[in-house]
Amino acid sequence: YEIYTNSTMSVRSIAVDEAGDVYIGGSGYSNITFGDLELEVEAGAGTPYVAKLSHNGSFLWASTGLGGYGTVSDIDIGPDGSAYFAGSMHTNLIWDNLSLISNGFEDSLFGKIGSDGSMEFIFNDGGQEYDSASGIAVDDDHNIYVIGI
């Protein structure tokens, strides 16, 4: 798999679906190239992202939030092939034209990206201090379980 960035990026989560496709998530500090896909991120901001690779190694899609620091800490694949993710965000964040307003220093972040790469929903939650979602699980009935601080 070929991933290129001219600065720092981190991969903090990985999941594999039943077809063998691979999902990765983390944060990037400058634009990231996943194969033939260019993902624009906020320079120096630690922008959260999720990307999907096919079982043969080609990148299928990549998605990111813009406007503030954040990361994707965990990914789980739902029964419909969607990627559910959990992480954290600082300041306000825009992801696929969905705006999130921070409640404090750092908020927990979780959402669902369809198997085609489209954002189905995204939420943040937290108080005035530090909050972060570190894990996510989805059961066969699409119930979502999120853990964190």
Q: What is the pLDDT of residue 52?
A: 95
| Tokens standing for residue 76 | 């789980």
| Residue whose entry in the numeric block shows the structure tokens 């969607």 | 82
Q: 130 - beta bridge partners?
A: 106
The pairing of beta strand 107-113 with beta strand 98-100? unpaired
**pLDDT tens by residue, 26-57:** 988 778 888 788 877 766 678 899 999 999 98
Q: 41 - beta bridge partners?
A: none
**pLDDT tens by residue, 57-75:** 889 999 988 877 889 999 9
**pLDDT tens by residue, 108-149:** 999 999 999 999 999 999 888 889 999 999 999 999 999 997
